[in-house]
Amino acid sequence: MFIKTIFSGFGGQGVIMMGYLLATAGMYEQKNVTCLPSYGAEVRGGTANCTVVISTEEIASPVASEPDFAVLMNNPALLFYQNQVQSGGTLFLNSSMIDSRPVRGDIEIYEIPVNDLVKPLGEERVGNMVMLGAFIKKSALVSLDTMHRVLKDTFTNRNPAMVKLNRQALLVGYDFLGP
Amino acid sequence: MAFAPFHARRSQSRSTVPKVLMRGNHVVAEAAVRAGCRFYFGYPITPQNEIPEYMSERLSKIEGGVFIQAESEIASIHMVIGASMAGGRVMTSSSGPGISLKQEGISFLSGLELPAVIVNMSRGGPGLGNIAPAQSDYFQATRGGGHGDYRTIVLAPNSGQELADLTFEAFDLADKYRTPVVILGDGMLGQMMEPVEFRPEIPIKKLPHKDWALTGAKGRPSRFIRSLILDPGEEEEHNWKLMRKYEKIAREELRWEAFAADDAKMLVVAFGTAARIAKGAVKRVREQGLKVGLIRPISLWPFPFKALRDFSKKVKHFIVFEMNMGQMVEDVRLALEGGGEVHFYGRPGGIVPTPLEVSRVITSQYYQKRLG
């Protein structure tokens, strides 16, 4: 097992957090993981992306030239990454914000209207959790239980209210793509 | 990223998993604090800003912890000299251009025989270069840009776990030999998050006693720490003393590892991030039956000259892979003393090649030399 995933979107959409949580969940499941956030000269904003490798073997390079999965939160992310995904790979795209669709026929595409799904929760910041829920459902890289544990360990000390809200959002995404 | 510091502390108390996922820069900072570092002085530069970010929070919450963002790199390295003279465990960090500015102070630390840990998360150069990962500071670290006849110990980690372990070792080596120790990483190691398990924190009282430190002479004879030695005879003796120390380090503090080297007909030599990539490449070509191994120097000074020389009795073909235009390759050639053929492959400027790319270089060299 050697799976590379790219998360990409605007700074502020929780892109790096998605990568961090996925990599932590992989670590909890005794896998080798690396998580490489992009770092630019910007202080805030701009494009953010994050590469996660989850593997049963030692990871030589944390850079993913041909990712298996791409999780794309906005239009620029789609334009940049749609042709880098491996043939047979999978795209998760935020259909609330991405108008165009890839022309490639050799990849699977899941459309998740993140911004619409998150509205009933009353907190738009957890849109990334909706996407992450959909992602772990279809990628099956880590289990839902593990992700629940990671959310608890990550947010309990910072802001306990966020554990519940994040878990709710995670389930919204998880259930969106069907049983 | 504020959640990483929080996580390190959580791992101390109630953790479901012994490891914690942390960014390399945060790992160095946390390991330093656990190794007894209570003094940090620095000036911001990407890609190592998370070290001062972490230290500013962590040290401000510890008794006796001092964090200062100085007005410049030159000021910060001289603050390091002061704290070290007073007996504290002290660290500074920067990236290539900032380390250039610190070289005067590093020379002084060496001359004054003061322990300190200096972290360089290097980037593309020369000049301002860029902020992408590169290994362009090998010469700067192993030769030093400072004046005078001195050496610094240079440790080159290749993972989050090694960043933690070698930071601990760096402080011990610095105290043991009273000499500055450089940790040479790069933007990739600084930014990448990996699972890390930390050693327990060393209580300050258990740190080695420093009978040379300037702690106030009340009730004891005065001590002197100086690097101005006007008498040539005395300065020569001081240089000999340093030389004996460096010779002892070169004998006793070598660190390197070999992978798949026993039956190898060709050896790849690489350090740090490049060594990770090279290891992935070696695994690929091994799967195709090519007898290729990897030598990874971990201490860049002292460099494992003898180990390479010994390998050259059996192996005649070497590939040096670096993320620069060829710096460590000079040490490899020195080590082999003509006893092997050296091919260099380098990608400078912040390019991080894939294991596949490096495996193609290895394969083509292997068949060109008629080894397969």
- Whether residue B151 is found in the same domain as residue B24: yes
- Give the burial class of A106: count Cβ atoms within 10 A of its Cβ; 0-12 exposed, 13-18 middle, 19 or more buried: exposed
Give percent of chain A with pLDDT exceeding 90. Answer: 87
- Whether residue B302 is found in the same domain as residue B167: no
Tokens of B260: 């798949």
Mutate to test the interface with B, among A61, A146, A154 (most CBs of B within 10 A): A61
> Which structural domain, as residue segments, surrounds residue B342?
256-368
Q: For B62, which DSSP code? A: S
Q: Which residue do the tokens 């030093």 mark?
A: B144
Write down the domain spans for chain A.
2-176
- Whether residue B46 is found in the same domain as residue B159: yes
Q: Is residue B294 part of a domain?
A: yes
pLDDT exceeds cutoff 90 at A64: no
Q: Is residue B301 part of a domain?
A: yes
* CATH number, position B355: 3.40.50.920
Who among A32, A36, A149 is closest to B192 (CB)? A36
Asked if the peptide bond before residue A160 counts as cis, ω within 30 degrees of 0, the response is: no
pLDDT of residue B11: 43
Q: Is residue B212 part of a domain?
A: no
pLDDT of residue B6: 43
Which residues in chain A touch residue B192, judged by CB atoms under 8 angstroms apart?
A: 34-36, 62
Distance of alpha carbon A83 from alpha carbon A99, whole angstroms: 17
Q: Which residues of chain B have pLDDT under 50?
A: 1-14
- pLDDT band at A43, cuts 50/70/90? low
Distance of alpha carbon B22 from alpha carbon B309, whole angstroms: 38
- Whether residue B12 is found in the same domain as residue B145: yes
Q: Is residue B246 part of a domain?
A: no
pLDDT of residue B254: 98
Tokens of B214: 């300037």
- Whether residue B170 is found in the same domain as residue B290: no
Q: Is residue B66 part of a domain?
A: yes
Which residues in chain A touch residue B281, judged by CB atoms under 8 angstroms apart?
A: 60
B46–chain A Cβ distance below 8 A for any pair: yes
Q: Is residue B247 part of a domain?
A: no
- Whether residue B202 is found in the same domain as residue B302: no
Find the radius of gyration of the CA atoms of chain A.
Answer: 15
- Whether residue B157 is found in the same domain as residue B263: no
* CATH number, position B146: 3.40.50.970
| Contact between B16 and A63 using a beta-carbon 8 Å cutoff | no
Burial B224-261 (b: 16+ CB within 10 A, else e): eeebeeeeeeeeeebeeebeeebeebbeebbbbeebbb
Tokens of B306: 């003898």
The span from the first CA to the last CA of chain B, in angstroms, equals 49
Which residues in chain A touch residue B276, judged by CB atoms under 8 angstroms apart?
A: 59-61
Could you please state the CATH topology (level 3) that the domain comprising A2-176 is classified under: Pyruvate-ferredoxin Oxidoreductase; domain 3 (3.40.920)
Q: Is residue B248 part of a domain?
A: no
pLDDT of residue B331: 98
Contacts 24+ apart (CB under 8 A), B249-252: B249/B151, B249/B153, B249/B177, B249/B179, B249/B302, B250/B302
Q: Is residue B222 part of a domain?
A: no
| Contact between B16 and A28 using a beta-carbon 8 Å cutoff | yes
Q: Which residue would you say has higher pLDDT here, A105 or A65?
A: A105
pLDDT of residue A44: 67
- State which of B165, B182, B206 marks the end of a domain: B206
Residue A171's SS3 state is helix
- Whether residue B139 is found in the same domain as residue B37: yes
- Whether residue B173 is found in the same domain as residue B261: no
B352–chain A Cβ distance below 8 A for any pair: yes
- Whether residue B53 is found in the same domain as residue B130: yes
| Contact between B191 and A41 using a beta-carbon 8 Å cutoff | no
Which whole number is the average pLDDT over A129-155? 97
Which whole number is the average pLDDT over A48-67? 94
Tell me, what amino acid is at B188?
Answer: M
Q: pTM for this one? A: 0.95
Per DSSP, chain B holds a count of helices (H) and strands (E) of 13, 14
Q: Count of domains in chain B?
A: 2
Tokens of B148: 């005078």
pLDDT of residue B3: 43
Q: Do the beta carbons of residue A62 and residue B192 sit within 8 Å?
A: yes
- Give the burial class of B326: count Cβ atoms within 10 A of its Cβ; 0-12 exposed, 13-18 middle, 19 or more buried: middle
